[in-house]
Amino acid sequence: MNLDKRKREAVWSRDTRLLDRLSKDPEPEVREGVSRNPHTPMDILDRLSKDPNHDVRWGVARFGYGSKQPNASQSALARLGRDSSRKIRLSVAENPNSPGGILDKLSRSPDDWTRCLVARNPSTPLDILDRLISDKIWHVRGAVGKNPSASLNILNRLSRDPKKEVLEELAENPSASLNILNLLNQEKAVPDWHFRKNPKWQERKELENTGLLDVAMYAERWLLNMGLDK
């Protein structure tokens, strides 16, 4: 099989035996294709996560940049989260399959963009998001504000952030409470178009039209006070 065909098969084949053979190919481009193939089994990806070639390892970690590798194991992602390559660590930071332990490590990175991607990751544990709302960089706090997995308690505290851009991100989050959206609207802290991007805003308008907005907001506050927010 010539090189062009091996590269093509590496990316598109569903034959696990062939993928195993191609994952040991002497050409890095072929191994990279296997690492990006969504049908590559976990055990092969584990091996490729230790490959000496940067682009092969990046293929295992990728969950952005227009390409997703859904089969990487948590142990492989934990290993890649400690990689010397910033590009690879960034991919692990945004990968929703990454384990909490490595996300915690990456959330303490001196690199702002790494922390921002962890803050945006919907799988980031709440205790990490809770810490990141105090980050000195507003982009990181804004990423928490837009994270749909952030708890109401976290989003409620973030609604008092002094940076307008953080509040704009928060206004677009469908997990933001009616109380938060109402507060941001009353204080004129956020331009209207940010609210219009949030489906919760339409729900608020419908409740207001039916006279049930105050009841819904009271119920939210009760849940928050009882510690029953998600």
Supply the pLDDT for residue 64: 52
Supply the pLDDT for residue 208: 86
Nearest to 109 by CA among 128, 122, 125: 128
Supply the pLDDT for residue 228: 58
53 and 157 housed in the same domain: no
Supply the pLDDT for residue 27: 97
pTM tops 0.75, yes or no: yes
In contact, 159 and 142? CB cutoff 8 Å: no
Round to whole Å and give the CA distance between 226 and 203.
24
28 and 110 housed in the same domain: no
115 and 165 housed in the same domain: yes
State the CATH number of the domain containing residue 76: 1.25.10.10
Whole domain around residue 87: which residue ranges?
Answer: 1-94
Round to whole Å and give the CA distance between 55 and 146.
30
Query: Tokens 């109401």 map to which residue?
Result: 152
Q: Which long-range contacts (CB under 8 A, 24 or more apart) does 1-4 make?
A: 3/27, 3/29, 3/30
Q: Consecutive sets of 10 residues in the chain, 230 residues long: mean pLDDT of each? A: 94 96 97 94 96 96 69 94 97 94 98 98 97 98 97 93 96 94 87 92 87 87 72
138 and 220 housed in the same domain: yes
Q: Which residues contact 16 (CB under 8 A, 6 or more apart)?
A: 39, 40, 41, 44
78 and 109 housed in the same domain: no
Dihedral, 95, 97, 102, 105 alpha carbons, nearest 10: 40
Supply the pLDDT for residue 50: 97
Supply the pLDDT for residue 68: 73
Supply the pLDDT for residue 149: 96
